[in-house]
A and B are shown apart, each in its own frame.
Chain A
């Protein structure tokens, strides 16, 4: 029975007739279309759905609509008044407190309630007031700064500054920032299409089982259920996967993990779809499962695939380790173990699909791989790829996991089969089942040093857990091997990497792509080596660090932009300044530790794969510039960076340009948004295209005005002569003759995969590359260990990063800060745990994602060692920032306690146990 409620939302009165089981969140988002309030976790843990109820923050996912009778609700849509952003909204944009934007509305409302009660909060008060709001992108620091800034602006409005600025190398604001702080940027789940059906997935009930039968007839009797799709409804290839299509879209005969989809029910309402899904009866015969990599390798292990349980195996050798170890004065060994880790982006997977008037199956979803997804969907539907269009909705965080086809396939299938628009949104629990995780690794390292700390030999055995399907596991395995020794010269090496199938979670791409795990091992070992040889750990790294002309273990001779030494030196200098403070802390008996680690990572996809991007520039009739760039903004700001690059070339401010990204019909084909490749490769495409576009604009202006091109220049909205007088506006230029448009495709340099032994032998050394470029970093962690509880608090981080050239300092810092906090989480708190293939980690909070309270101050130092192939010397930098943070924390713990830890995450009890053993 419905209930009548009266309430005010954003100052407007409503009288509504609601069902008692309707959540306030659904009332706002679904019934009233106020989609600025985001749905993150469903369990009142993440804070994304925060609204103010009578001025107080509450999680609207844990409030019934009937409960708000008589209440006053403020949502993000009500924060700006009369078209004027609230100072908090402005401060969030200006401070770079917004990345993907999906935690932002909730953050802003928590901050609003705080400032209403306390106009000048201290840092600790801000953190405590907002600790119920998670952010996975920023590392929280810029959010705290933004709240402080807003507090100042609210008290002293005259201090406010203009939001907009321009220029390469300047901290201009996110081009989507205003929409993000207003909550108006449409994420996939915010979309609503006319006549839309809602899909609900029937998940595997077992980690490993044979499907004996699927009964859909009961589900079909539910009112509103339109269809139940199973494998039989897949017209083409029933498979998906970025490397090998071995993950069924809908399982037919067998399930291999609890994230397998067996059927999908489409109905008129989400509730009906859910009811229907509950009535699809699948009968199974449970099969014995494989729940660890070592179990997968047992002779009598159940085999997950026809190829067996080995997904990929690689062996690579350099020199002769027997000789190398003989020369070594010190050999350090270690067995390391890391867990599955969840990306924990704020936005669970979602999407809508429809068939447009031209018969094109269109899917709007937050994918990192629009063109790869289009290809997969066309093969699955058995139609040509011109008949499929993928439009990327803003990513509420991705970090690698949205590279894989998640709900895209069933959305396309639903739209194609049913001829009606469809929508699928995963709950957090479903997202945790389905989405890929960081690969768990077991690593055996044996490293030989000579007396002066030079690396003589390294022997590495890697065994990692792919989970049930291939995803990108072979690539991660290859990359882990290539980067297994860090940014150092290693004369003798044997590395063996094996990745195997299990019935655990599916592993895939995650910021760092296999390098994080091996960095934990090699950087811990280097630290141990430095300790035993009594060499300063910075010095030991300097002695081994790669330089121009050195060869990586993969056989590439580094030619340019090799800044590892600079990052080590700069980090050390910054640490020296902290030493008096550290000594003062130590003198009071506090257990303080300092740890350093370095890292490098590929920029660009490399490994022999084609890496391409493109750019299209169009002069629009109103004189504005449209850039259709081949890129996907994962929330970290590539759209802004590309506009800055274009602005620099064209001499036209970013605000006078529009940008379209992530649309397979409107942009040139490009490689997925992975491997921190977009600044380097999409940026280069934009730079080159912009130069050509500029010349075309000037040429046309010259032909219209009779002034030679050499005397013309662009300045903002106009073209000037050599006396800086306007000769024609861009608007006028656009009205003359044919549209000025430039298209350019940029293909990055040829690279070779590690397993391509032939290439290593035959390709001339100067042309042999594993990757288009590399980024380097050194990070320092200063930690305190509480000897009573074993708890570790990171007090400060120093992060020195080589970006080639900084396009946008604010965004670069923001990425480093967010990455560092992820690295800290990996060291101390995060993990996705299963028991016999069934998840023990079921809610957002249980993932161990760091909160405001775990976020230390981070001193980011950006170094510019130009990369010649990048736009203005720039290259990627976000992923590499996660790499050394984790081992830096581990090394700092060792410094504080004298105990080295080999298993992640390092929990307080492990530390306490070790300290007690030492006593």
Chain B
């Protein structure tokens, strides 16, 4: 790795429309800078070639966390992990998103890195993604051609590759209002030490009919770092739906989740951990249901 970053032209738009015009103007030759915690490493490694760096941090219209009872949660592209973690409304309504952002790197990384950036980097092990998959989040992608919404789990193509067009900007993460009697959880295991990349990450959201019968009305499970991209464990979700949530159901669900994961390195262990963590995450999520 070389230390010096190649020269580029630095652009700092202050409005969204300006930013997307720049993207259109320099199609294929520009990169977006938000937190930069992944981007700068790639720039140092000279893995990227671009002429223009568009820093979106001046676009105040992208710096927000909004919650409405009807529409749910909206997270602007400039929200860092730290600001998500400190958001009262997220702590209260979506605590599993807080758990996920707290799993990202260290304080230093969370202070600078953004949630949207974590998505755009498209690392299979990105911590925020499984929980966003579980919460049925969708992403707003905007270009001068217009905007489109896409489900989080459809955003990823390959390791470090997403469907974002070169002219598009991810501007907002939308998380629907959570169903009644639901609970979510994110659990992860680092590769080696506490600050290491995630070896297995599990985000779940589960809802039941009521607290007495505990019949599952909805379950969503996102798995990180066990396939080339973060994935949704659809068979497991399907299995849980309609079932009474009890120990045996959770145990079976965890085993089904294993069959849905496709890890490559340390495969046997990762699969084993999918079982352990899906089980634990479901248990935790169920315990949170009010």
Residue in A132, A788, A912 whose beta carbon sits within 8 Å of that of B195 in the complex: A132
Task: Flag whether A44 is at the interface (Cβ < 8 A).
Answer: yes
Q: What does the 1/0 interface line of A23-64 toward B look like (CB < 8 Å)?
A: 100000000000000000011110100100100111101111
Task: Flag whether A121 is at the interface (Cβ < 8 A).
Answer: no
Task: Flag whether A853 is at the interface (Cβ < 8 A).
Answer: yes
Across the interface, which residues of A come within 8 angstroms of B273, CB to CB? 789
Task: Flag whether A604 is at the interface (Cβ < 8 A).
Answer: no
Task: Flag whether B47 is at the interface (Cβ < 8 A).
Answer: no
Residue of A62, A63, A64, A128 most packed against chain B (CB within 10 A): A62
Identify which of A332-340, A350-358, A697-705, A844-852 touches chain B: A844-852
Across the interface, which residues of A come within 8 angstroms of B41, CB to CB? 43-44, 62
Task: Flag whether A10 is at the interface (Cβ < 8 A).
Answer: no
Establish whether residues A44 and B2, one from each chain, have CB atoms under 8 Å apart when the complex forms.
Answer: no
- Residue of B with least CB distance to A830: B192
Establish whether residues B1 and A845, one from each chain, have CB atoms under 8 Å apart when the complex forms.
Answer: no
Residue of A21, A133, A274 most packed against chain B (CB within 10 A): A21
Within the complex, the shortest CB–CB distance from B181 to chain A, in Å, comes to 28
Task: Flag whether B123 is at the interface (Cβ < 8 A).
Answer: no
Q: What does the 1/0 interface line of B120-137 toward A look like (CB < 8 Å)?
A: 000000000000000000
Establish whether residues A851 and B266, one from each chain, have CB atoms under 8 Å apart when the complex forms.
Answer: no
Q: In the complex, A587 Cα to B87 Cα: how many Å?
A: 41
Q: Contacts A20-B9, A110-B107 known; A131 to B194 CB distance under 8 Å?
A: yes
Task: Flag whether B213 is at the interface (Cβ < 8 A).
Answer: no
- Residue of B with least CB distance to A49: B108
Establish whether residues B5 and A21, one from each chain, have CB atoms under 8 Å apart when the complex forms.
Answer: yes
Q: Contacts A20-B10, A67-B57 known; A42 to B106 CB distance under 8 Å?
A: no
How big is chain B's contact interface, by range? Answer: 35 or more
- Residue of B with least CB distance to A57: B108
Across the interface, which residues of A come within 8 angstroms of B4, CB to CB? 21, 270-271, 274
Q: In the complex, A634 Cα to B268 Cα: how many Å?
A: 43
Establish whether residues A44 and B1, one from each chain, have CB atoms under 8 Å apart when the complex forms.
Answer: no
Q: Contacts A42-B44, A45-B195 known; A789 to B189 CB distance under 8 Å?
A: yes
Across the interface, which residues of B come within 8 angstroms of A132, CB to CB? 105-109, 195
Establish whether residues A58 and B9, one from each chain, have CB atoms under 8 Å apart when the complex forms.
Answer: no
Establish whether residues A845 and B40, one from each chain, have CB atoms under 8 Å apart when the complex forms.
Answer: no
Residue in A66, A274, A842 whose beta carbon sits within 8 Å of that of B2 in the complex: A274
Establish whether residues B82 and A56, one from each chain, have CB atoms under 8 Å apart when the complex forms.
Answer: yes
Establish whether residues A427 and B10, one from each chain, have CB atoms under 8 Å apart when the complex forms.
Answer: no
- Residue of B with least CB distance to A106: B108
Across the interface, which residues of B come within 8 angstroms of A1, CB to CB? 9-10
Residue in A45, A129, A789, A851 whose beta carbon sits within 8 Å of that of B194 in the complex: A851
Q: Contacts A23-B5, A45-B195, A56-B82 known; A909 to B266 CB distance under 8 Å?
A: yes
Task: Flag whether A429 is at the interface (Cβ < 8 A).
Answer: yes
Per the CB 8 Å criterion, the residue count for chain A at the interface is 57
Q: Contacts A789-B276, A845-B195 known; A44 to B108 CB distance under 8 Å?
A: yes
Q: In the complex, A913 Cα to B271 Cα: how many Å?
A: 13
Establish whether residues B57 and A131, one from each chain, have CB atoms under 8 Å apart when the complex forms.
Answer: no
Within the complex, the shortest CB–CB distance from B129 to chain A, in Å, comes to 20
Q: In the complex, A176 Cα to B6 Cα: how many Å?
A: 38
Establish whether residues A20 and B7, one from each chain, have CB atoms under 8 Å apart when the complex forms.
Answer: yes
User: Which residues 1-60 of B sit at the A interface, judged by CB distance below 8 A?
Assistant: 1-10, 12, 33, 36-37, 40-41, 43-44, 53, 55, 57
Residue in B1, B7, B192, B196 whose beta carbon sits within 8 Å of that of A427 in the complex: B1
Residue in A57, A274, A789, A853 whose beta carbon sits within 8 Å of that of B111 in the complex: A57
- Residue of A with least CB distance to B193: A851
Establish whether residues B36 and A57, one from each chain, have CB atoms under 8 Å apart when the complex forms.
Answer: no
Q: What does the 1/0 interface line of B41-83 toward A look like (CB < 8 Å)?
A: 1011000000001010100000000000000000000000010
User: Which residues 885-911 of A sit at the B interface, judged by CB distance below 8 A?
Assistant: 908-909
Establish whether residues B36 and A62, one from each chain, have CB atoms under 8 Å apart when the complex forms.
Answer: yes
Establish whether residues B36 and A19, one from each chain, have CB atoms under 8 Å apart when the complex forms.
Answer: no
Q: In the complex, A473 Cα to B124 Cα: how many Å?
A: 41
Establish whether residues B269 and A912, one from each chain, have CB atoms under 8 Å apart when the complex forms.
Answer: yes
Residue in B2, B55, B107 whose beta carbon sits within 8 Å of that of A57 in the complex: B107
Residue in A47, A59, A133, A842 whose beta carbon sits within 8 Å of that of B1 in the complex: A842
Task: Flag whether B140 is at the interface (Cβ < 8 A).
Answer: no
Task: Flag whether B272 is at the interface (Cβ < 8 A).
Answer: yes
Q: In the complex, A339 Cα to B239 Cα: how many Å?
A: 44
User: Which residues 176-227 of B sit at the A interface, judged by CB distance below 8 A?
Assistant: 189, 192-197
Q: In the complex, A848 Cα to B276 Cα: how many Å?
A: 23
Task: Flag whether B112 is at the interface (Cβ < 8 A).
Answer: yes
Task: Flag whether A450 is at the interface (Cβ < 8 A).
Answer: no
Task: Flag whether A854 is at the interface (Cβ < 8 A).
Answer: yes
Interface of A is mostly: mixed
- Residue of B with least CB distance to A430: B1
Within the complex, the shortest CB–CB distance from B283 to chain A, in Å, comes to 12
Q: In the complex, A216 Cα to B55 Cα: how many Å?
A: 38
Q: What does the 1/0 interface line of A792-829 toward B look like (CB < 8 Å)?
A: 00000000000000000000000000000000000001
Q: In the complex, A188 Cα to B4 Cα: how many Å?
A: 20
Q: In the complex, A848 Cα to B10 Cα: how many Å?
A: 36
Across the interface, which residues of B come within 8 angstroms of A63, CB to CB? 36, 40, 112
- Residue of A with least CB distance to B82: A56
- Residue of B with least CB distance to A109: B108
Task: Flag whether A3 is at the interface (Cβ < 8 A).
Answer: yes
Establish whether residues A44 and B109, one from each chain, have CB atoms under 8 Å apart when the complex forms.
Answer: yes
Q: In the complex, A278 Cα to B3 Cα: how many Å?
A: 12
Q: In the complex, A647 Cα to B5 Cα: how many Å?
A: 51
Q: In the complex, A462 Cα to B226 Cα: how many Å?
A: 39
Within the complex, the shortest CB–CB distance from A322 to chain B, in Å, comes to 44
- Residue of A with least CB distance to B35: A62
Across the interface, which residues of A come within 8 angstroms of B53, CB to CB? 20
Across the interface, which residues of A come within 8 angstroms of B37, CB to CB? 44, 59, 62
Within the complex, the shortest CB–CB distance from A49 to chain B, in Å, comes to 9
Within the complex, the shortest CB–CB distance from A674 to chain B, in Å, comes to 29
Q: In the complex, A852 Cα to B44 Cα: how many Å?
A: 27
Q: Contacts A1-B9, A271-B4 known; A58 to B193 CB distance under 8 Å?
A: no
Q: In the complex, A19 Cα to B6 Cα: how many Å?
A: 11
Establish whether residues A129 and B269, one from each chain, have CB atoms under 8 Å apart when the complex forms.
Answer: no
Establish whether residues A853 and B194, one from each chain, have CB atoms under 8 Å apart when the complex forms.
Answer: yes
Q: In the complex, A591 Cα to B270 Cα: how many Å?
A: 22
Q: In the complex, A278 Cα to B8 Cα: how many Å?
A: 19
Residue in A20, A43, A57, A908 whose beta carbon sits within 8 Å of that of B44 in the complex: A43
Q: In the complex, A131 Cα to B108 Cα: how many Å?
A: 9
Q: In the complex, A131 Cα to B269 Cα: how many Å?
A: 26
Establish whether residues B272 and A829, one from each chain, have CB atoms under 8 Å apart when the complex forms.
Answer: no
Q: In the complex, A825 Cα to B232 Cα: how many Å?
A: 35
Across the interface, which residues of A come within 8 angstroms of B40, CB to CB? 23, 44, 61-64
Across the interface, which residues of A come within 8 angstroms of B195, CB to CB? 45, 131-132, 845, 851, 853
Establish whether residues A852 and B194, one from each chain, have CB atoms under 8 Å apart when the complex forms.
Answer: yes
Within the complex, the shortest CB–CB distance from A119 to chain B, in Å, comes to 17
Establish whether residues A429 and B1, one from each chain, have CB atoms under 8 Å apart when the complex forms.
Answer: yes
- Residue of B with least CB distance to A909: B269
Establish whether residues B272 and A912, one from each chain, have CB atoms under 8 Å apart when the complex forms.
Answer: yes
Across the interface, which residues of A come within 8 angstroms of B2, CB to CB? 274, 278, 427
Across the interface, which residues of A come within 8 angstroms of B111, CB to CB? 53, 56-58
Q: In the complex, A179 Cα to B224 Cα: how many Å?
A: 45
Q: In the complex, A789 Cα to B270 Cα: how many Å?
A: 10
Across the interface, which residues of B come within 8 angstroms of A129, CB to CB? 107
State the 9 A-B residue pairs at the shortest beta-carbon distance, nearest first.
Answer: A132-B106, A853-B194, A20-B10, A909-B269, A21-B5, A429-B1, A56-B111, A62-B40, A848-B192
Besides A21-B43, A42-B1, A854-B194, 12 other A-B contacts (C-beta < 8 A)? A21-B5, A42-B44, A45-B195, A64-B40, A131-B106, A131-B194, A271-B4, A789-B276, A790-B269, A850-B193, A851-B195, A909-B268
Interface residues of A (CB under 8 A from B): 1, 3, 19-21, 23, 42-45, 47, 50, 53, 56-59, 61-64, 66-67, 69, 110, 113, 128-133, 270-271, 274, 278, 427, 429, 788-791, 829, 842, 845-846, 848-854, 908-909, 912-913
Can you list 6 A-B pairs, Cβ within 8 angstroms, ordered by A? A21-B8, A59-B108, A66-B55, A132-B107, A427-B3, A845-B195
